[in-house]
Structure 1
Amino acid sequence: MTSLVRMVGGLRVVPNHRWHTLAFLAGSSGRSPVYLGVEVDASAILARQSESAGCSVVAQVVAAVGTVWARHPEANSSFESLGLPLVVRHRDVDVKLAFDVSVDGTRTVQSAVLPAAQSISPAAITEWITDTRERLESGDRGPAQAFRFLPGVVGRAVFDIATFLPWSHRALGTVAVTSLGHRPIRHFYSDGGTTMTVGIGRMIDSVALVDDRAVDRTILPLSLTFDHRVIDGALAAEVAADLASELEMSGSTTAAELERIV
Structure 2
Amino acid sequence: MLREFRLPDVGEGLTEAEIVRWHVTPGDSVKINQTIVEIETAKAVVELPCPYEGTVSALMADEGQTVDVGTPIISVRTGDGEGPADAGREALADDLVPGVGDGAEPKKEKRQPVLVGYGVKTSATRRRPRKPASPAPVSAPPVSVTPAPVTPAPAARAAATPPAASSAPAVPGNGHAASAGVRVLAKPPVRKLARDLGVDLTALTGTGPQGSITRADVEAAVAAPAPAASGTSATSGTAREEYIPVRGVRKATAQAMVASAFSAPHVTEWLQVDVTGTMEAVRRLRTLPEFAEVKVSPLLLVAKALITAVKRHPMANASWTGEEIVVKHYVNLGIAAATDRGLIVPNVKDADAMSLPDLARALGELTERARAGRCQPAELSGGTITITNVGVFGVDAGTPILNPGEVAILAVGQIRDMPWVVDGQLAVRKVTTLALSFDHRVVDGELGSHVLRDVGAMLEDPLRMLAWS
Q: Deviations over 1:132-173 (max 9, x none)?
A: 23323443232289xxxxxxxxxxxxxxxxxxxxxxxx8241
Q: CA deviation at 1:43?
A: 1.4
Q: CA deviation at 1:251?
A: 7.7
Given the alignment, which residue of 183, 186, 197 partners 2:393?
Answer: 183
Whether 2:298 is the aligned partner of 1:57: answer yes
SS of structure 2 residue aligned to 1:181 = helix
Is residue 56–residue 122 contact of structure 1 (8 Å, CA) maintained in 2? no
Taking structure 2 as the reference length, what is the TM-score of the superposition?
0.44
**For this pair of structures, how many residues does the alignment match?**
221
In our comparison, the structure showing a higher alpha carbon Rg is: 2
Question: Mapping of 1:71-90 within 5 angstroms?
Answer: 71-81=312-322, 84=323, 86-90=324-328
CA distance in 2, matches of 1:26, 1:210: 43
Q: Deviations over 1:175-228 (max 9, x none)?
A: 110112122200111123221100011012112223321122111211110111
Q: CA deviation at 1:38?
A: 0.9
- Change in 2 beyond 3 A, CA 1:137/1:206: closer
1:210 matched residue in structure 2: 422
Moved more, 198-207 or 136-145: 136-145
Whether 2:456 is the aligned partner of 1:244: answer yes
Tell me the amino acid that sits aligned with residue 21 of structure 1. T
1:70 matched residue in structure 2: 311
- Change in 2 beyond 3 A, CA 1:182/1:137: closer
Q: CA deviation at 1:79?
A: 0.5
> CA RMSD for the aligned pairs?
2.4
1:141 matched residue in structure 2: 375
Q: Deviations over 1:91-145 (max 9, x none)?
A: 1122111122334xxxx22221112222323432222122123323443232289
Given the alignment, which residue of 266, 269, 276 partners 1:43?
Answer: 276
Considering fraction of residues, name the structure with more helix: 1
Question: Mapping of 1:1-262 within 5 angstroms?
Answer: 1=19, 2-4=63-65, 6-7=154-155, 8-9=157-158, 11-28=243-260, 29-53=262-286, 54-81=295-322, 84=323, 86-103=324-341, 108-143=342-377, 171-193=381-403, 194-250=406-462
Considering fraction of residues, name the structure with more strand: 1
- Change in 2 beyond 3 A, CA 1:137/1:251: closer
CA distance in 2, matches of 1:3, 1:197: 34
- Change in 2 beyond 3 A, CA 1:199/1:250: closer
- Change in 2 beyond 3 A, CA 1:137/1:186: closer
- Change in 2 beyond 3 A, CA 1:60/1:121: farther
Q: CA deviation at 1:30?
A: 1.1
- The gaps in structure 2 that reach 5 residues or longer are 1-18, 20-62, 66-152, 159-240, 287-294, 465-469
CA distance in 1, matches of 2:436, 2:327: 20
SS of structure 2 residue aligned to 1:64 = helix
Taking every aligned residue pair, what percent have the same amino acid on both sides? 23
Taking structure 1 as the reference length, what is the TM-score of the superposition?
0.76
- Change in 2 beyond 3 A, CA 1:46/1:65: same
CA distance in 1, matches of 2:372, 2:424: 53
